[in-house]
Copies of this chain bind each other. A is one copy, B any other.
Amino acid sequence: MHCMHDSNALIEAVPNFSEGRRADVINRLAQALQAPGVSLLHQTSDAEHNRTVLTVAGAPEGVLEGLFQAARVAAQEINLFTQRGAHPRLGAADVVPLIPLEGVTLEECAELARQLGRRIGDELGLPVYLYEAAATRPERRNLADVRRGEFERLVEEIDQPERQPDYGPARVGPAGAVIIGARPFLIAYNVFLESADVRIAQAIARAIRASSGGLPAVKALGLLVDGQAQVSINLVDFKQTPLPVVMETVTALAAQHGVGVAHSELIGLMPLEAVAQVAAHYLKLPDFTPMRIVEHALQMTRGAGC
């Protein structure tokens, strides 16, 4: 289906850096990521969050090399003792998820995460925590648990046994720690409310998040971004809870608080199948799949010629 052999694995990585304001640093991070064979698919920076999320894809070796180089740039340029932003963070290269795209399993991505973690720990001298499918302890599977208390608390607690890093020294410098893991494709989707009251966003986040009995596969936070209440959502399995269900639920809960949905924001990308789900739901086309999209159907049927 693509112009490569099936034996060539393809992974995505969506590194999150704790810098969303200085364009020169952001450019250097994006440049560093683009090792040979690595495509930069998307880039988004948020000054309020003070965070940049870059989406890259390519062969595992290239992606790992780019991530290492970008982590080095981040560690040189970002000082967590002075960095401030709306988004929680533990370090300069804050979170580095690896995602299987083609010809590679989640467990293989977890092994790649360990390789990258070992190299960053050894060569950059940074504490590294493994999370999700790469986690070495059950209590480190969940990103929010690893990041609890943020950088400031880690500085105080890193010598405690439960905060012992998986790689690198148990010592926190200005670059903080790096959280590396492997996970399935995640849709990062923020809904802005027509309100400046963060408590409404927090109440909605609490109501929809799986951990408090809400929607399966949904993680959510209520934030105040540019003076606007925002429900920040990570949908970790769109097949379990389709995006339209998330959107309709947030809209209905917001209405209960007497506020509307202003607009939304997608961080990074989403898979074609998730987009097809949205069309199927709102156009009331129960049979709609990606094969009903002309470009996709053509690519599938012409694959043999590649």
Contact = CB atoms under 8 A, between A and B. Distances in A.
A269 B285 CA distance: 12
Contact of A292 (B3, B243, B247, B269): B269
A101 interface: yes
A266 B294 contact: no
A136 B134 CA distance: 66
Interface stretch (A105-113, A157-165, A208-216, A298-306): A298-306
Of residues A244, A266, A294, which shows the largest number of chain B Cβ atoms within 10 Å of its Cβ?
A: A294
B282 A244 contact: yes
Interface in A279-306: 279, 281-288, 291-299, 301-302, 305-306
A263 B298 CA distance: 27
Given A3-B302, A4-B305, A293-B275, A264 B247 contact: no
Contacts of A284: 191, 247, 261-264
Nearest to A288: B266
A26 interface: no
Contact of A270 (B261, B265, B282, B292): B292
A306 B4 CA distance: 8
Nearest to A265: B285
A62 to B, nearest CB: 12
Given A41-B301, A263-B286, A275-B276, A295 B294 contact: no
A38 to B, nearest CB: 10
B269 A294 contact: yes
A271 B293 contact: yes
A263 B278 contact: no
B244 A270 contact: no
Contacts of A244: 282
Interface in A94-109: 101
A272 to B, nearest CB: 5
A4 B243 CA distance: 35
A83 to B, nearest CB: 27
Given A275-B276, A282-B278, A2 B294 contact: no
Interface string A12-56: 100000000000000000000000000111100000000000000
Interface of A: 2-4, 10, 12, 39-42, 57, 101, 185, 189, 191, 243-244, 247, 261-266, 269-272, 275-276, 278-279, 281-288, 291-299, 301-302, 305-306
21 contacts: A3-B3, A3-B305, A12-B294, A39-B298, A40-B301, A42-B297, A57-B294, A57-B301, A191-B284, A247-B283, A262-B284, A266-B283, A266-B288, A270-B294, A271-B294, A272-B295, A278-B279, A279-B279, A281-B282, A295-B296, A299-B299
Closest 10 CB pairs of A and B: A39-B301, A41-B297, A3-B306, A269-B294, A282-B282, A264-B284, A278-B279, A263-B284, A272-B295, A275-B279
